[in-house]
Structure 1
Amino acid sequence: MTTTVVVGNPKPGSRTLDAGRLLAEALTGRPADHVIDVITLGSGLLAWGDEAVAASVRVVQESSLVVFASPTFKATYTGVLKLFLDQFAGGTGLRDVVSVPLMLGAGPAHAMAADLLLKPVLAELGGTCALPGLFLLDSTYAEDGKIAEYAERWAGVATALTKVS
């Protein structure tokens, strides 16, 4: 199983990146094979044909399981993540990729954002979105046990889905 973390935070090396890595490792029992910190792709996200962006898209498409992580920004996922997701063909761009939506926020007001806003886009791109989204408080995600609870409940499902895909 190839695991990738895609992070759409405007700040490189963010808490969102850390949470994505922690979730991927909790689900699979090992560190992610690839981490794509989307902001580091820079202006290549704004034009078609950028080789670094295309290479990142291929990494995602060749992965079995991808954690797509974003901070909550203006009540939804970030524009940086949207720019990256726009690089995938609708309906087939994430075919056979088990896609796990993860969002972080400052408070519980947007606790459903991962399921209501990010998950539908991943499904529209053809991702296998059988696992529920996970919302974490950015101030407590590393020690509140939510990642471990989620992984305890869903790691077996993720593993089974990646064997089917």
Structure 2
Amino acid sequence: MSSVVALVGNPRGGSRTHLAAVAAAEALGRRIGHDAPPEVVDLSAIGPHLFTPTPSPTVEVALELAAGARVLVVASPTYKATYTGLLKAFLDRLPGGALTGTAALPLMVMGSPRHALAVELHLRPLLIELGASVPTPGLALLEAEIPGLDRILADWADRVAPQVTAAVRQPHPRDLV
């Protein structure tokens, strides 16, 4: 099975968003037959390099990982009812169509259920604009649900694995070269 990558758009290292993204990528990876640990692109570690005027090898490697993933879990905390500017700045570095052949799964961590639609109204369209297939509804996690994350993600992974498996059966553009 192809690569699974967790893209973490939280500007703080060691965040609940990081925990949720990696756990989601692991749970889903197991369900679709990808036993290797997921690759992780943690934007808190490379954030300052996104805004430098000179190219950064660290950013380029992260962009290649994201664009080359077959399954990309894209996670952000909810800031002002949407995803973080850091995540947007990173994704803006990808050319149009860069996620063609990638099954993307949007995930947002939020303090209030009032923001639950942000994952569908804001993050999903961005991923589709970049060419990703978004075969399942996004996952909106409340911060209060983090203690029960294993159970929540097990149920989620069981529910979305068939659609993700079908999406990754399509040849990836990099495999056709």
Tell me, yes or no, if structure 1 residue 63 matches structure 2 residue 69: yes
Q: Deviations over 1:31-50 (max 9, x none)?
A: 64310111210321114622
Contact in 2 for aligned 1:2/1:33 (Cα 8 Å): yes
For residue 166 of structure 2, what is the aligned residue in structure 1? 160
Once the two structures are TM-superposed, the CA of residue 53 in structure 1 deviates from its matched residue by: 0.6
For residue 132 of structure 1, what is the aligned residue in structure 2? 137
5 Å-filtered alignment, 1:143-158, equals 143=148, 145-158=151-164
Q: Deviations over 1:38-94 (max 9, x none)?
A: 12103211146221111111011111100000000011000110111011112x111
Runs of 5+ consecutive residues of structure 1 not aligned to the other structure: none
For residue 46 of structure 2, what is the aligned residue in structure 1? 41
Query: Based on CA coordinates, which of the two structures has the bigger radius of gyration?
Result: 2
Residues of 2 paired with 1:96 and 1:142: CA distance? 33
Once the two structures are TM-superposed, the CA of residue 19 in structure 1 deviates from its matched residue by: 0.4
Q: TM-score normalised to the size of structure 1?
A: 0.93
Residues of 1 paired with 2:94 and 2:49: CA distance? 14
- Length, aligned pairs only: 164
**Superposition RMSD in Å:** 1.4
Q: 1:161 to 1:86 in 2, by over 3 A?
A: same
Q: Secondary structure at the match of 1:135?
A: strand
Instruction: Report % sequence identity.
Output: 37
Q: Deviations over 1:101-141 (max 9, x none)?
A: 00000110011111110000000011111111000011223
Q: Secondary structure at the match of 2:148?
A: coil
Q: 1:31 to 1:16 in 2, by over 3 A?
A: farther
Q: TM-score normalised to the size of structure 2?
A: 0.87
Contact in 2 for aligned 1:5/1:32 (Cα 8 Å): no
Q: Secondary structure at the match of 1:148?
A: helix
Runs of 5+ consecutive residues of structure 2 not aligned to the other structure: 172-177
Which runs of 4 or more aligned residues in structure 1 lie more than 2 Å from their structure 2 counterparts after TM superposition?
30-33
Larger relative helix fraction: 2
Contact in 1 for aligned 2:47/2:86 (Cα 8 Å): no
